[in-house]
Chains A and B, each alone.
Chain A
Amino acid sequence: METPVAEQAKATEVSVEERHYNIIGTRPIRHDGADKVTGKALYGADVRLNGMLYGKVLRSPHAHARILSIDVSRALALPGVKAVVTSADLATLDSVVSRVGEGAVNWRYLSNNILASDKVLYHGHAVAAVAATSLNAANEALNLIDVQYEPLPCVITAVQAMRPGAPILLQELRTNELGARGEIPTNIASHDQNMRGDLERGFAEAAVIVEREFTTGIVHQGYIEPHTATAVWGTDDQITIWTSTQGAHDARRQVAEVLQLPVSRIKVIPMEIGGGFGGKTVIYLEPVAALLSWKSGNRPVQVTMSRFEVFAGTGPTSSSVIKVKMGSASDGRITAAQVTMAYAAGAFPGSPVGGAMSVILNAYRMENVQIDGYDVVTNTPRVAAYRAPGGTNAAFASESVIDELACKLGIDPLEMRRINGAKEGDRRVDGPLIRRIGYLETVEKARASAHYQSPLPAPSTPGLKVGRGVASGWWGNWPGGTSSVSVIVNNDGTVNLIEGSTDIGGSRVAMAMQLAETLGLQAADIKPMVVDTDSVGYNDVTAGSRTTYSTGIAVHKAGLSIIQQMRERAAQLWDVESASVDYADGVISSKDNHIGFKELARKVGDGDGNVVASISISPNGDGVALATHIVDVEVDEETGKVQILRYTAVQDVGTAIHPAYVEGQIQGGAAQGIGWALNEEYVYDQQGRLLNGSLLDYRIPTALDLPMIEAVIVEVPNPTHPFGVRGVGEVPIVPPAGAVANAIANATGVRMTVLPMSPQHVLEALWTQGNERV
Chain B
Amino acid sequence: MANKTAVQATINGEDVEFLCEPHQSLLEVLRDVLRLTGTKEGCNNGNCGACNVILDGVLVNSCLVLGVEAQGKRITTIEGIAPPHGLHPLQQKFLEHAALQCGICTPGFIISAKALLDHNPHPSEHEVRHWLAGNLCRCTGYDKIVRAVLDAADVMAVEVSK
Q: Determine direct contact between A and B, CB below 8 Å.
A: yes
Question: A residues bordering B, Cβ < 8 Å?
Answer: 27, 29-30, 32-34, 36-43, 45-46, 48, 135-136, 221-226, 272-277, 304, 306-307, 504-506, 658, 660-661, 663-665, 667-668, 670-672, 694-696, 700-704, 706, 708-709
Determine whether B145 belongs to the interface, using a CB cutoff of 8 Å to chain A: yes
- A32 to chain B: which residues have CB within 8 Å? 103
Contact of A668 among B42, B134, B140, B147 (CB under 8 A): B140
How distant is A704 from chain B, measured CB to nearest CB, in Å? 4
How distant is A764 from chain B, measured CB to nearest CB, in Å? 27
Inter-chain CA distance A660–B140, complex, in Å, is 11
Contact call B37/A39, Cβ cutoff below 8 A: yes
Contact of A225 among B35, B82, B104, B146 (CB under 8 A): B104
- B98 to chain A: which residues have CB within 8 Å? 27, 30, 506, 658, 660-661, 663-664
Contact call B96/A29, Cβ cutoff below 8 A: yes
- B140 to chain A: which residues have CB within 8 Å? 664, 667-668, 671
Q: A37-B95, A39-B79, A224-B50 are in contact. Are A704 and B43 (CB under 8 A)?
A: no
Contact call B138/A221, Cβ cutoff below 8 A: yes
Contact call A504/B102, Cβ cutoff below 8 A: yes
- B43 to chain A: which residues have CB within 8 Å? 307, 694-695
26 interchain pairs, CB-CB under 8 A: A29-B95, A30-B98, A33-B94, A33-B95, A37-B94, A37-B95, A37-B103, A37-B106, A39-B38, A41-B103, A43-B37, A45-B41, A223-B138, A272-B104, A274-B40, A275-B104, A275-B139, A304-B41, A307-B45, A504-B101, A664-B98, A664-B139, A667-B141, A670-B141, A703-B146, A709-B141
Extra 11 A-B pairs, beta carbons < 8 Å, given A38-B79, A39-B37: A33-B100, A39-B77, A224-B104, A504-B101, A506-B101, A661-B98, A668-B101, A671-B142, A702-B129, A702-B136, A703-B133
Inter-chain CA distance A665–B100, complex, in Å, is 11
Render B95-125 as a binary contact track against A, CB cut-off 8 A, 1 for contact: 1111011111111001000000000000001
- A664 to chain B: which residues have CB within 8 Å? 98, 101, 139-141, 144
- A39 to chain B: which residues have CB within 8 Å? 36-39, 77-79, 107
Contact call A222/B138, Cβ cutoff below 8 A: yes
Determine whether B132 belongs to the interface, using a CB cutoff of 8 Å to chain A: yes
Q: Which single residue of chain B is at the shortest CB-CB distance from A666?
A: B141
Contact of B45 among A223, A667, A696, A709 (CB under 8 A): A696
Contact call B38/A40, Cβ cutoff below 8 A: yes
Contact of A696 among B41, B47, B106, B125 (CB under 8 A): B47
- B37 to chain A: which residues have CB within 8 Å? 39, 42-43, 45-46, 48
Q: A274-B102, A274-B103, A506-B98 are in contact. Are A703 and B48 (CB under 8 A)?
A: no
Inter-chain CA distance A505–B100, complex, in Å, is 8
Q: Which single residue of chain B is at the shortest CB-CB distance from A272?
A: B103
Inter-chain CA distance A696–B91, complex, in Å, is 28
- B77 to chain A: which residues have CB within 8 Å? 39
Q: Which of B125-158 contact A (CB under 8 A)?
A: 125, 128-130, 132-147
How distant is A55 from chain B, measured CB to nearest CB, in Å? 15
Inter-chain CA distance A135–B28, complex, in Å, is 10
- A38 to chain B: which residues have CB within 8 Å? 38, 78-79, 82, 87, 91
Inter-chain CA distance A275–B69, complex, in Å, is 32
- A701 to chain B: which residues have CB within 8 Å? 141-142
Nearest 6 interchain pairs by C-beta: A39-B38, A274-B104, A671-B141, A505-B101, A36-B103, A39-B78
Contact call B130/A704, Cβ cutoff below 8 A: yes
Q: A224-B138, A694-B47 are in contact. Are A703 and B145 (CB under 8 A)?
A: yes
Inter-chain CA distance A766–B62, complex, in Å, is 43
Determine whether B1 belongs to the interface, using a CB cutoff of 8 Å to chain A: yes
Inter-chain CA distance A541–B50, complex, in Å, is 26
- A306 to chain B: which residues have CB within 8 Å? 44
Contact call A277/B138, Cβ cutoff below 8 A: yes
- A225 to chain B: which residues have CB within 8 Å? 40, 42, 102, 104
- A704 to chain B: which residues have CB within 8 Å? 129-130, 133
- B44 to chain A: which residues have CB within 8 Å? 306-307
- A36 to chain B: which residues have CB within 8 Å? 100, 103, 106
How distant is A135 from chain B, measured CB to nearest CB, in Å? 8
How distant is B139 from chain A, measured CB to nearest CB, in Å? 5
Q: Which single residue of chain A is at the shortest CB-CB distance from B93?
A: A37
Contact call B133/A702, Cβ cutoff below 8 A: yes
- B82 to chain A: which residues have CB within 8 Å? 38
- B138 to chain A: which residues have CB within 8 Å? 221-224, 275, 277, 668, 672, 700
From A32, A48, A696, A704, name the one whose CB has the most chain B CB atoms within 10 angstroms: A704
Render B1-35 as a binary contact track against A, CB cut-off 8 A, 1 for contact: 10000000000000000000001000010011001
How distant is B106 from chain A, measured CB to nearest CB, in Å? 6
Inter-chain CA distance A48–B35, complex, in Å, is 8
- B96 to chain A: which residues have CB within 8 Å? 29
- B144 to chain A: which residues have CB within 8 Å? 660, 663-664, 667
Contact call B47/A223, Cβ cutoff below 8 A: no
Q: Which single residue of chain A is at the shortest CB-CB distance from B145?
A: A703
Contact call B47/A703, Cβ cutoff below 8 A: no
Q: A29-B95, A136-B23, A224-B138 are in contact. Are A703 and B41 (CB under 8 A)?
A: no
How distant is B4 from chain A, measured CB to nearest CB, in Å? 12
- A273 to chain B: which residues have CB within 8 Å? 102
Render B73-98 as a binary contact track against A, CB cut-off 8 A, 1 for contact: 00001110010000100110011111
Inter-chain CA distance A33–B143, complex, in Å, is 18
How distant is B107 from chain A, measured CB to nearest CB, in Å? 5
Contact call A505/B136, Cβ cutoff below 8 A: no
Contact call A37/B91, Cβ cutoff below 8 A: yes
- B132 to chain A: which residues have CB within 8 Å? 702-703
- A700 to chain B: which residues have CB within 8 Å? 136, 138
